[in-house]
């Protein structure tokens, strides 16, 4: 991807927001289950079968962008900072992009917030496409009723609370990610010990 972006525009500016990897993995599983991308309800079981870790290898993933575009064209932010004080993030973005955001105020609008509008549950879509009876009902029912039924079924299938990794898996993941986290700490000059304590 970094080469394709560079070939398209070598002056592109890359913004990369890092989240506590444990929080990211738990949130990713919650999202994947609730939209039907996985049928494994228990996150600790899903870790063995799904590649839920790849996106948490932050240094490995960002290094090609740094090598291709250079440090001046890559801005690395922390999700925790965005949650604490979005005005500071807005200031960093303004400086990095050389844009004046003062006319839009000092609040970053939150969109795509978890727990908001439910997305299509792919598990339901696959089930209704395979099952002859459900396929027939889909053809007969009015659109509004189909949407309502789909929404209600999605709510029934959804995990109500975010999944939590057990302590054994949490320790294993942190141990595996430590070299990545250490490299990110050096790269951005920040203490990320809250990620592994």
pLDDT for position 117: 45
pLDDT for position 125: 62
The answer to whether 53 and 59 have CB atoms below 8 angstroms apart is no
Local structure of 60: helix, strand or coil: helix
Q: Give the span between the Cα atoms of 40 and 42, in whole angstroms.
A: 6
pLDDT for position 116: 43
| DSSP 8-state secondary structure symbol assigned to residue 101 | -
Q: Give the span between the Cα atoms of 101 and 95, in whole angstroms.
A: 10
pLDDT for position 49: 63
Local structure of 100: helix, strand or coil: coil
Tens of pLDDT, residue by residue, the chain (197 residues): 999 999 999 999 999 999 999 999 998 888 888 877 888 888 998 876 656 788 899 999 999 999 999 999 999 999 999 889 888 888 899 999 998 877 766 566 666 665 544 555 666 666 666 666 666 666 777 777 767 766 666 666 667 777 899 999 999 999 999 999 999 999 999 999 999 98
pLDDT digit string (tens) for 149-162? 666 666 666 677 77
pLDDT for position 77: 96
């Amino acid at each position: 991807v970094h080469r394709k972006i560079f070939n398209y525009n070598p002056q592109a500016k890359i913004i990369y927001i890092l989240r506590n990897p444990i929080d990211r993995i738990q949130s990713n599983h919650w999202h994947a289950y609730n939209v039907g991308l996985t049928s494994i309800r228990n996150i600790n079981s899903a870790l063995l079968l799904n590649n839920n870790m790849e996106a948490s290898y932050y240094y490995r993933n960002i290094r090609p962008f740094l090598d291709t575009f250079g440090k001046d064209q890559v801005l690395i932010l922390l999700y925790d900072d965005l949650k604490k004080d979005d005005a500071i993030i807005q200031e960093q973005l303004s400086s990095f992009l050389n844009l004046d955001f003062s006319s839009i105020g000092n609040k970053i609008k939150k969109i795509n917030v978890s727990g908001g509008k439910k997305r299509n549950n792919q598990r339901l879509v696959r089930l209704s496409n395979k099952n002859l009876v459900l396929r027939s009902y889909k053809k007969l029912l009015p659109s509004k009723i189909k949407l309502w039924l789909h929404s209600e079924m999605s709510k029934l299938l959804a995990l109500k609370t975010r999944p939590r990794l057990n302590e054994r898996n949490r320790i294993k993941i942190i141990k595996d990610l430590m070299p990545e986290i250490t490299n990110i700490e050096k790269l951005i000059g920040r203490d990320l010990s809250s990620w592994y304590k």
